[in-house]
Chains A and B, each alone.
Chain A
Amino acid sequence: MDRPELQEWVTRHPTDGVARVYLGVLLGRSGQSEEGLHQLRTGLKQKPDLHAARVRLARVLEARGDIEEAMSALQQGVHRGAPPPELAVELGRLYIATGQSNRAEPLLTDLVRSHPTHAEAWYRLGQARLSSNRPAEALDALNRAADLAPRTVEYLSAVGEALRSRLRLPEAERRFRSALALRPTHFEALYGLALTQRDQGVDGAAVQAAFQAAVAASPENPLAHFALAGVCRDAGNLEGAERGYRAALERVERREPPESLGWRAREEWLGAVEAPCYQLAAVLRRRGRPADAAVFEARFKKLSSYRNEVRRLLARSAYRPTDGELNLRLGRLHAANGALVLAEMEIRTAIRRSDPPGALQALHRILKQRQGSKTP
């Protein structure tokens, strides 16, 4: 059945959840994402046990930046009867990706108890533990994943990274090499291997070559460009360093996350922009181009000051949860830095908390600005 036929079928059989879900997938593929989402949502309401569709819906929502709804869709699935482990794994992954490892860990711990041979569950549990700074336990979980699926490159590479962070460098190197034997262009393994070699004090040219291999494997990834630039800089190759930092900056800039992902994601991204800006300023100054250096320095300072001030206000706000004044200040700060969605969120929180003077007017201004912007 092709798409028009399916659309007609759904019109005639509006309670056929399966058909709606299938139609939603087809619409999404053909670029009609809004209509596709509508069909997916409706289909899942009618047929809530279509777990694969639920995962798909969550991923589409996540890609759009609708994290809360994505999470909610998965939570509904996980809390229904006996869901397949893939739903919990997906929810765990989303928790980790949004910095909620404290929610991911119990979920995944329960999962590996009931499904002890589920390799991906162990892998995600390892990641959750890593991000909660429990590296030894993380390594146990990642090793379990790698034992269960010894030819899964991602697991081998993750074990290598966990070993590297535990300073077990020769073992880490072996794991990265095992991953690369299976897939020679796997970026994480190439990058991890380069870092491991650097940390072991391997000859500079060899480390440079290792980072170059990582760049070649994933030219759009800013990480290896940045690291390679650092190696060049340390070796006195300022031209290579400038090239690398510029490449890293361009790639980071292309990865701006939607504001709806929240401050944490934006802060991380801003930090990732700052890093090459900071290094470019330093390299350009050494190359005798102070005017060019000043451009990057100014940009770095603006971003850095914004980020640090938000961090300070957030820390104080967490201590004084009923003080809306701090949220209002945060909102104004976001607005001054062009983050209008975040500004609106903070000012709404300010109004909810204590409605400080000027909050409503600030909200009006931001709503007006957002109406004038491309993404209201």
Chain B
Amino acid sequence: MRRLLILGLTLLVAGCVGPRHEESRVSPAPTDPSVPQFADVTESAGIRFRQGLGGKRPLTILESTGSGCGFLDYDSDGRLDLLLVGQPRCALYRNEGEGRFRDVTGEVGLDRDGFWIGCGAGDFDNDGRTDLFITGYQTCALYRNTVQAGAVRFVDVTRSAGIQPGGFQTSCAFTDLDRDGLLDLYIARYVHFGPDEPQYCRSSDGKVLRTCGPDVYEAEKGSFYRNRGGGRFEDVTRRWGFDSAHGKAWGVAVGDIDDDGLSDLYVANDEMPGDLFHNRGDRVSNIGAMSGTAYAREGSVQGGMGADFGDYNNDGRLDLVVTNFWMEPNSLYRNDGARLFSEVSPAVGLMETTRRFVGFGVRLMDVDLDGTPDLFFANGHVQDTQEVDPEQGMPELMQLFLNRSGRYVDVSRQAGAPFSRPLVGRGAAAGDWDNDGDLDLAVTDMEGSARLLRCDQPTSRPTVHHWLEVRALTAGPTPREALGARVTVESEGVRRIREVQTAGSVLSSQDPRAHFGLGDLGGKSTLDRVRVRWPDGSQIELMDVPVDRLLTVRQGARSTGTDQ
């Protein structure tokens, strides 16, 4: 209700305050035995990836963009590898097991210079190997994953695929919107920026040059490429109705909001209304405003950055979380059905706790395996105006909120040392890279080292928290991750849903496996039922499924595999 405060109340000024950065450098609180611990294993894993411009100030809007990261299994060895996007070069780290990663950027052919920003992973040519799309400023690359002389080699097929590299691209998403079995590609764009556009803007008191906000620039809009097969894509942005986007986009999330079997798309826009594209099979309708997801609670536009779908209240409907700019609380939109959402941030405890940060990366994920999705935020400001405001620096703390009966409790200070070290957070990816059943994290720092975090469940928990990871693969001789599949697990009448997606967060690509925390299951060690609804609408139902393992389900197969 921030805007009504202006009407002659002293509360107005009190409502517009921000964090004191010195206070942000908190010491970790005493360990709470119920909170999972995150350990920063970047160095021990062998990851050395730094970004930054040597403290240059001010930054242009392009320089303050940062970059993303992604978990993907590029070599199909069952272990998630780590892609770190950046300027001038990306890096791919192969997961060698035992907590070690090796830089394979050069050997796989990803060592091309460019202003790289975001990434998406998906097998667009259905050959069973995960391909890559990397967004950038006036550049982009569609990399086909090939095997040459027994080794993986990414081949740049952007031009032959018919994808245009122009503009200021941010996030992207592989998703099969037309359900033809081929992954299509959505590419988000931000603003029109170039040498002829404003580079820096003055602070409100005119004293300091700083990064311009998005208001100064014209919006650039995203593109939707339909996969025609044969390695060719066709720009069908207008035909599909994606030209109704507002532009100035950061994050893209994919999920079936109305359970009609078709993947829908949410695009978080910076100080523009958010776009919720409802998929009608052969085109989309932008129902952002009508659905209640385009604006903040007060109807104001927000600096939308990251976005993610997940069912936070286990009611069988995908809810939406959007990270926002400073002094704009992150928005949790509860899906009320009938494609209507309610912004419930105050009711779930995300109002005051998130407004002090500039939120970027976000994941709705069950960190403590209790069966309810928790929230992770990677925060970092876009400008450093300490010359006029000593309380506003760029590095900020990451945040972890545990879902306790539908209310989000900030446990950041109890979740391990990484949560007490500020960073200029941008992209964030979640994935179980050590295959131990809980979700780990990768986070990029715009002015520092990317971080690889390992999640460890508390050992002193009084009850065991079970888990299940479902790898859903399409039918055919070279099955791929069935992006868009919906997995439902049931036990004792409790139903939980996840979708197989790599999109979500911002600039980043996620572990495609559907991850479920299951709580103690009342002492049982099996789930009553696991159902997978495939992207083509067909379903498979498995009964009495053992938990605490990775379950691989192949479409059309008579049996399933358990890899652990």
- A residues in contact (CB < 8 Å) with B: 96, 101-102, 127-128, 130-136, 138, 154, 157-158, 161-162, 164-167, 188, 191-192, 198-199, 201, 204, 221-223, 226-227, 230, 233-234, 248, 252, 255, 265, 268-269, 271-272, 274-275, 277-279, 282, 285-286, 297, 300-301, 304, 308, 311-312, 314-316, 318-320
Contact = CB atoms under 8 A, between A and B. Distances in A.
A164 B352 contact: yes
A191 B342 contact: no
B13 A319 contact: no
B17 A130 contact: yes
A131 B7 contact: no
Contact of A102 (B12, B204, B392): B204
A199 B351 contact: yes
B6 A304 contact: no
Given A133-B389, A199-B351, A315-B215, A275 B4 contact: yes
Contacts of A191: 11
B294 to A, nearest CB: 9
B340 interface: yes
Interface string B4-18: 111111111111111
B4 A312 contact: no
Interface residues of B, number: 56
Nearest to B295: A278
A278 B298 contact: yes
Given A133-B391, A199-B346, A297-B289, 18 more contacts: A132-B389, A133-B389, A138-B17, A158-B14, A161-B10, A199-B349, A199-B351, A204-B347, A234-B344, A252-B7, A268-B6, A271-B3, A274-B300, A275-B297, A278-B299, A312-B216, A315-B215, A316-B215
Given A154-B10, A158-B10, A234-B344, A136 B4 contact: no
24 contacts: A133-B17, A138-B17, A158-B10, A158-B14, A164-B352, A167-B353, A188-B10, A191-B11, A192-B11, A201-B407, A222-B7, A227-B1, A230-B1, A234-B342, A252-B4, A255-B8, A268-B7, A275-B1, A277-B299, A285-B290, A286-B336, A308-B271, A315-B216, A316-B198
B349 A271 contact: no
B213 interface: yes
Contacts of A274: 3, 298-300
B540 interface: no
B69 interface: no
Contact of A304 (B299, B347, B349): B299
A192 B11 CA distance: 8
B390 A272 contact: no
A127 B1 CA distance: 19
Nearest to A127: B13
Contacts of A222: 4, 7
Interface string B447-478: 00000000000000000000000000000000
Given A133-B391, A315-B213, A275 B300 contact: yes
B450 to A, nearest CB: 29
A92 to B, nearest CB: 12
B4 A248 contact: yes
Interface in B118-164: none
B298 A164 contact: no
Contact of A271 (B12, B298, B342): B298
B524 interface: no
Contacts of A164: 14, 352
B495 interface: no
Contacts of B297: 230, 275, 279
B345 to A, nearest CB: 10
Contacts of B18: 133, 135
Given A133-B18, A274-B300, A319 B10 contact: no
Interface in B1-53: 1, 3-18, 20, 23
A279 B4 CA distance: 13
Contacts of B20: 135-136
A101 B16 CA distance: 12
Contacts of A158: 10, 14
A132 B17 CA distance: 8
Contact of B347 (A234, A248, A282): A234
Contacts of B390: 134
Given A233-B342, A311-B215, A301 B289 contact: yes
B216 A226 contact: no
Contacts of A161: 10-11, 14-15
Name, among B1, B289, B342, the residue most crowded by chain A CB atoms within 10 Å (CB to CB).
B1
A53 B157 CA distance: 78
Contacts of B14: 130, 158, 161-162, 164-165
Contacts of B57: none
Contacts of A300: 299
Nearest to A204: B347
Contacts of B104: none
Contact of B299 (A157, A221, A227, A279): A279
Contacts of A275: 1, 3-4, 297-300
B202 interface: yes
B392 A133 contact: yes
Nearest to A223: B4
B216 A319 contact: yes
Nearest to A158: B10
A276 B218 CA distance: 29
A167 B9 contact: no
Nearest to A264: B6
A167 B4 contact: no
B340 A135 contact: no
B301 interface: yes
A293 B407 CA distance: 30
Contacts of B292: 282
A230 B351 CA distance: 13
B16 A271 contact: no
Interface string B344-374: 1011010111001000000000000000000
A198 B295 CA distance: 21
B113 interface: no
Contact of B212 (A223, A272, A319): A319
A308 B335 CA distance: 27
Interface string B312-356: 000000000000000000000000100010101011010111001
Which 9 pairs from chain A and chain B are nearest by CB? Answer: A278-B299, A161-B14, A135-B17, A315-B215, A275-B298, A268-B6, A131-B13, A271-B3, A130-B13
A134 B389 contact: yes
B205 interface: yes
A315 B292 CA distance: 27
Contacts of B9: 188, 221, 223
Contacts of A102: 204-205
B23 A136 contact: yes
Nearest to A270: B3
